[in-house]
Amino acid sequence: MASKNPRRNGGRRSKWAAAALIGIGLLVTGGGYAGATAAMAAGDTTQTASTLTVEDGKKLFQANCATCHGLDLQGTNDGPSLYGVGELSVEFQVATGRMPLQMQGPQAPQKPVQFTQEQIEAMAAWVQSEAPGPTYPASETLDGEGDVSHGAELFRINCAMCHNVAGAGGALTEGKYAPPLTTTSPLHMYAAMVTGPQNMPVFNDMTLTTEEKRDIISYLMMRPTENSPGGFSLGSLGPVSEGLFIWIFGIGSLVAISVWITAKSN
C-alpha cells in the first residue's frame, strides 16, 4: 500500500541557499584576509621602528637637515655647525618640534613633531657617532626624587629672571622669549640646562652639579600639582598681572559705583 505522505525530494534546496553560502564564504575569506594583512602590517611597522640603525639616522639627517647643517655637520650660511652638540641637543631640538626650522626668526618656536621617537633617536645617534657631545643622563637624574626645596632656591637664583618664578615663561629682548616649563618633560629640562638652546646659557657641572640639576627638575615636576591657596593664580605672572587686575576691576568697579551713586542722587 502506498504511503499517504509522499516522500520529499532530499536533493531539492531553497533558491536562496546557494547565494547565502557564497555570501558567508566571501565574508569569512575577506575578514580573514583583512585581519592577516593588518597583523602583517603591524609586524612590519614594529620591526621597522625597532631596527633603525645609525646608518638610517644618517639617511634621515641628510634628507631633512643637511640643507642647513651640511652633509658632514659642518654647517652652512643657513644653519650652524653641529660639531660637539651631541645626541642630547639633537633629541631636544627635533623632539620638541623646533627643528627642522619652519622659518627664520628671532628664535625657533615649538611646533608639532615631524618624526617618530625612533627616527629622532637614530638621527641623534648618528650625530653622536660623528661629532660626540652631551649625552643622555642617568635615569635617577630625571626621577623627580631630588630635594624640592633646594631645587626651588636654585631655580629662583638661576632661572626665574627669564622663566618666571612659577616657570610660566616670559618675554626677552628683540622678539625672543623664555618658554613656559609647565609641560616640559624632565629629559628636555635637563637637555636645556646642559646644551643651552636659543638664548639660554649652558649650565655645566661647574655651574650646577648633576645633583643640583636633579633638584631643579624635581621642583619643576612638582609645580603643576600645587594648589593656589590665595584663590585665582592669574597665570602666576606676579605683580604685573595682579596690579593690572586691581586697576581694571578694582578701581574700575569703584568708578562705576561712584557714577551710579551720582546718577541716583540727581
The yes-or-no verdict on residue 242 having pLDDT over 60 is yes
Task: With a cut of 60, say whether residue 10 has pLDDT above it.
Answer: no
Task: Could you list the beta-strand ranges (E) of 104-254.
Answer: 170-171, 177-178
pLDDT band at residue 254 using 50, 70 and 90 as cut-offs: confident
CB 178 within 8 A of CB 163: yes
* Phi, psi of 31, deg, nearest 5: -65, -40
Question: Is 165 a residue whose pLDDT tops 90?
Answer: no
pTM exceeds 0.85 = no
pLDDT tens per residue, range 28-75: 776 676 666 656 655 544 444 458 899 999 999 999 999 999 999 999
Which residue ranges make up each domain of the chain?
30-134, 137-227
Mean pLDDT for the chain overall: 83
Residue 89: alpha-carbon gap to chain centroid? 15
30-134 and 137-227 agree in CATH topology: yes
Torsions phi, psi for 33 (to 5 deg)? -65, -45
What are the residues whose beta carbons fall under 8 Å from the beta carbon of 69, sequence distance 6 or more? Answer: 61, 75, 76, 79, 80, 81, 82
Contact 175, 105 (CB under 8 A): yes
The CATH number of 137-227 is which of 1.10.760.10, 1.20.120.160, 1.10.3720.10, 3.20.20.70?
1.10.760.10
pLDDT at res. 49 = 45
| The pLDDT of residue 226 is above 60 | no
- Spatial distance between the Cα atoms of 264 and 266, rounded to a whole number of angstroms: 5
Fold of 30-134: Cytochrome Bc1 Complex; Chain D, domain 2 (1.10.760)
Burial 51-85 (b: 16+ CB within 10 A, else e): ebeeebbbebbbebbbebbbeebeeeeebeebeeb
Say what the pLDDT of residue 48 is. 46
